Amino acid sequence: MKFEKSKENHIYFTLKHKDCVCPHCKAITNKVHDYRTSIIKDSPIMGKSTFLHYRKRRYHCDSCNRHFTEPFSLLPKNCRLTTRLCFEAIHLLKSSLNVLTVASQLGISVSSIFRRLRDIKHQKPKTLPLVLSIDEFKGNSGGNKYHSILTAPKEHKVFDILPSRTQYRLEEYLRDFSNCKDVRYFVMDMYKVYKDIAQRLLPNATIVINKFHVVKQVTGATERVRIRIQKQMHPSKRKYFKRSRKLILAHKDKLNKENLEALEVMLQQSNDLAQAYYLKELFYDFMDSKSSSETKPKLRKFINAVSVSELAEFNSVLTTLANWAKYILNNFDYPYTTGYTEGMNNKIKVIKRNAYGYRNFENFRNRIMLSCDTI
C-alpha cells in the first residue's frame, strides 16, 4: 500500500493474491487473467478528500474458461464510492442537514447523494400497528401538492409516507394489508375522508380526534368576537383593551390580580364579549375534565350555552361538535394523540426547507424515513 502527501489523500492498493471461488461454476482458482485500476472515493481522512486507487485483479477459471473480478466487500457493484462513504452519507442524511451540506462535507456530488437515496428501498411495512395515526403535509413532490404521513404513535415510529391524501389512494394502500381488523385506534384530525376510510376499512378501530383542534376553533371564535367588539368600540374606550387578546385567551387561573381587574373592565364594555369569554372558560373547563364521566355533562353544558348565546362566531364550533363530539370525547378515554405525528410533520418541514423542496417523491420519502430513523 502506498500513501501520498498532498491536498488530497491517494491510497494505492491491491488485494492479496489468493484462491477464489468462481461465481460461474464454483470451481476454485488462483490464476490471474489481468488487472484494471478503479479510482474510488472514500470517506475523508483528516478533512481531506480521499481516493482509493484499487488495482482490481481478474481471475481466470480453467474449468469454465471464464473471467471474474475478485470479490471486495468495501465496494458496492458499479459504484465509485466505498460502502463506508455511502453509509456515512446515509448517516448524515438522518439529521436534518441539507443535501448540499452533506455533499460538500463528504466531497461528493449532490447527484450521488440522490442516487444513494434512491438505492435505499424502503419496503412497505407488512402489518398495520395497533394504534395508527394519520395526517397530511404539503410536499409538492411527484406532482402531488399534499402527501400523507402514517405513524405508529405507540412505537414512536413513522409508519409510511404516501404520495397523496385522496380517499382512493389511501384506501388502495390500506386494502393491501391483511390485518386491517387489528387496528384498534385510529388517531386523526377532523378530516371527513379519514373518518370514512376508518369506518370502511378498519372495522375495529376507535376513532380518536385530537381535542386541541377543537380548542383552536373555540379560541378562534372568541377572537373573532373580540375583534368585532374592538372595531365597534368608541376610541375613548380603546384604552381598556390593551393586551386584550392575551388576557381574554389566557386561562383565568393563570392571571394575577392586576390582570384580572383589567380583564373585568374589558368584559364590562360589551355583553357579547363577556358571553364569548364565558363560553371559552366553559370549554376550558370541559378540557380540564379529569375523568371521562365528567366530560359528557360538561360538553353538554357548553353546547347549550353556545346555542343560547346566539353569537354567530361560535356557529362553526357547534357544527364541529355535532359531527365530531363522539370522537373528541374518546380523547379522554384513550391516551393517544396526534402529538407524535405533528412532531414528525414539523421535522418534515425542516427537511423540505433545507432541501429547497424535493421534486422526486421517492427521494423525499426516503429522506423522511431516514431522518425519522425507521430504516
The binding site for Zn ion (CB under 5 A) comprises: 22, 24-25, 27, 61, 63-64
CB neighbours of 271 closer than 8 A, spacing ≥ 6? none
In the bound state with Zn ion, the residue whose beta carbon lies nearer, of 59 and 186, is 59
Shortest distance (Å) from residue 78 CB to Zn ion? 22
Cα dihedral sign for 289, 295, 297, 301? positive
In the bound state with Zn ion, the residue whose beta carbon lies nearer, of 27 and 74, is 27
In the bound state with Zn ion, the residue whose beta carbon lies nearer, of 32 and 100, is 32
In the bound state with Zn ion, the residue whose beta carbon lies nearer, of 60 and 228, is 60
Shortest distance (Å) from residue 32 CB to Zn ion? 15
Shortest distance (Å) from residue 119 CB to Zn ion? 30
Closest CA to 314 of 284, 350, 280: 280
Q: Is 273 exposed, middle or buried (0-12, 13-18, 19+ CB in 10 A)?
A: buried
CA–CA dist 170, 136 (Å, integer) = 11
In the bound state with Zn ion, the residue whose beta carbon lies nearer, of 62 and 288, is 62
Decide: 82 and 42 in contact? Cβ < 8 Å.
yes
CB neighbours of 236 closer than 8 A, spacing ≥ 6? none
Shortest distance (Å) from residue 61 CB to Zn ion? 3
Closest CA to 214 of 337, 130, 129: 337
In the bound state with Zn ion, the residue whose beta carbon lies nearer, of 64 and 274, is 64
Shortest distance (Å) from residue 76 CB to Zn ion? 23
Closest CA to 137 of 375, 372, 374, 373: 372
CA–CA dist 272, 310 (Å, integer) = 9
Shortest distance (Å) from residue 26 CB to Zn ion? 7
One-letter amino acid at 261 equals: E
Shortest distance (Å) from residue 138 CB to Zn ion? 56
Shortest distance (Å) from residue 29 CB to Zn ion? 7
Q: Which residues pair with 11 in a beta bridge?
A: 3, 52
CA 149 → CA 80, 116, 190, 206, 351, distances in Å?
34, 23, 15, 19, 14
In the bound state with Zn ion, the residue whose beta carbon lies nearer, of 63 and 179, is 63
In the bound state with Zn ion, the residue whose beta carbon lies nearer, of 59 and 361, is 59
Decide: 102 and 320 in contact? Cβ < 8 Å.
no
Closest CA to 244 of 213, 215, 288, 276: 276
